[in-house]
Structure 1
Amino acid sequence: MEPLTVITRLWERIDARDWPAVSRFIAEDAVIEWPVSGERIVGRDNFIAVNSDEAYTDERSVELLRILADGDVVVTEVEIRQEHVVYRAVSLWTVQDGEIVGAREYWTSPGQDPAPRWRAALVEPLAQHLAEHPVAD
């Protein structure tokens, strides 16, 4: 299976909370890094356990905003909206022989990191710009 297809199906199965299907896309010894929180998930079983934890099983949907592939590397941007918060992730996946062997995911919430005041005269609010000019695929 092509890397782009693997990752597209991965996000579809995560959205469906189909953990047995998700596990088929993850190599047994895969390493997934989350630099924003300073965590490293080693192994398929740990990846499934983290993602299927009750803290993540609420009514949420995964929207795949963008996906790009170059050989074995696939980059995705996803958004997960919950009642009081929006999560965004940019993920860099490495796929070999139809399995994810590694990834680095940057999870955050838009606006979570306050902008320094000194830049105020040089920038405009991103939320306003996105509403007026959505990102084209």
Structure 2
Amino acid sequence: MTAHTSPPVPPNPLSPSGPAPGFSTASPAVGIGSAGSLSPRECVVELWRRMEARDWSGLGALIAPDAVIDWPATGERIVGRNAFVAVNREYPEGWSIRVLDVLADPAGERVVSEVEVPQEGVGVFRVASFWTVRGGLVVAGTEYWVTVGGDAAPAWRAPWTRPLPG
């Protein structure tokens, strides 16, 4: 297996200061054994950082052994840490991750993230993810993957809408 060097995280177009707050590939990694010390928001930020770095054992350390992650757009359910890590590890290469936003309920365990996943030769995906984090581990998630510009807008909405900027 060849080593993968992650490209730098591009600036967040929604923020002049760069990537989403708390997300930086330059920040020190949280140790594998310290997931329990992460807040729910920090856990999700770290999940995306480790996925972008292809740190599969580190990613697994953030996922509960019996976690359930749903992908409703394709009708799939991923059950368990090992399956979640494997499906991401085996995903065809040529992709990167850019975190656009991460929001957390300050009094609870729910976190929402929005990321962009460009993939060479395929296009750009936008992913809205809804996570449940307990004790520093993801226990559940629902991810909605769409291809940016992949669906044509219905003609009836044309009088009230315009194309997204470029």
**Pairwise same-fold verdict (TM > 0.5):** yes
Deviation at 1:49, TM superposition (A): 1.0
**Please, which of 36, 39, 51 is the counterpart of residue 88 of structure 2?**
51
Which residue number in structure 2 is paired with residue 90 of structure 1? 128
Which residue number in structure 1 is paired with residue 71 of structure 2? 34
Aligned counterparts of 2:147 and 2:41: Cα–Cα separation in 1: 25
Instruction: Determine what percentage of the aligned residue pairs are the same residue.
Output: 48
Which residue number in structure 1 is paired with residue 102 of structure 2? 67
Deviation at 1:120, TM superposition (A): 1.3
After superposition, residues 111-126 of structure 1 pair within 5 angstroms as: 111-126=149-164
**Aligned amino acid, residue 22 of structure 1:** L
The size of the alignment, in residue pairs, is 126
SS of aligned partner of 1:12: helix
Deviation at 1:121, TM superposition (A): 1.8
Deviation at 1:59, TM superposition (A): 3.2
Deviation at 1:64, TM superposition (A): 0.5
**Aligned amino acid, residue 33 of structure 1:** D
Deviation at 1:83, TM superposition (A): 2.3
> When you count helix as a share of all residues, which structure comes out higher?
1
Which stretches in structure 2 are left out of the alignment for 5+ residues?
1-37
- Give the alignment's TM-score, normalised by structure 2: 0.73
Q: CA RMSD in A?
A: 1.1
Which stretches in structure 1 are left out of the alignment for 5+ residues?
132-137
Instruction: Write the deviation string for residues 20-63 of structure 1: whole angstroms up to 9, x where unpaired.
Output: 0000000000000001111110111110111100x33x232211
